[in-house]
Amino acid sequence: MPTIEQRAEQAYVAIVGDVTMATIPAIADRMPEVFGWLAGKGVAPVGPPFFRYDVIDMARGLRIEVGVPLRDPIPGEGDVIAGVLPAGRYATVSHVGHPRELEGVTGDLLAWAEGEGLTFDMQRRADGEHWGARLEHYLTDPRLEPDMSKWEVVLAFRLA
């Protein structure tokens, strides 16, 4: 069942990619680069890695960030960018299952919010939906649980 939670702003670093629904693995597979870059700086994440969907046009393409939250902001470098997830109210839902199931879980969350009269921090533009913060937090470490059907993911979409 979805819930609404208040979140503080959160510093992070990420790598950004422009992909299609079929090529999402091209950006997802870059997550180890983010962890490696942080390790090289001696900086530890303060939470689970996430995907941030910045622009969504299911037919043409998506702009996705693969990132990790940090205690304190640090500057990016090369392909690694620094950012801040905005504070605010987020509609959230937890899911255990294969990531391919997330499209359905997302649809359910969007429908629930509409039924509750909630509006997301999203603007429709010519190139797609621009989201203020649409996140998938991956709570399961794939090195410890390789069975993707057992992964826990929390969706968190910022409300307007």
- pTM of the full structure: 0.95
CATH of the domain at 114: 3.20.80.10
| pLDDT score for 94 | 98
Residue-wise pLDDT for 100-157, tens only, equals 999 999 999 999 999 999 999 999 999 999 999 999 999 999 889 999 999 999 999 9
Position 4 pLDDT exceeds 90: yes
Q: How confident is the model over 52-99, as pLDDT tens digits?
A: 999 999 999 999 999 999 999 999 999 999 999 999 999 999 999 999
User: Chain-centre distance of CA 46, in angstroms?
Assistant: 15
Q: How far separated are the first and last CA of the chain, in Å rounded?
A: 20
Distances (CA, A) of 158 to 33, 51, 110, 130: 27, 14, 12, 12
Task: Tell me which residue range forms the domain holding 91.
Answer: 3-158
Name the domain count of the chain. Answer: 1
pLDDT at 121: 98
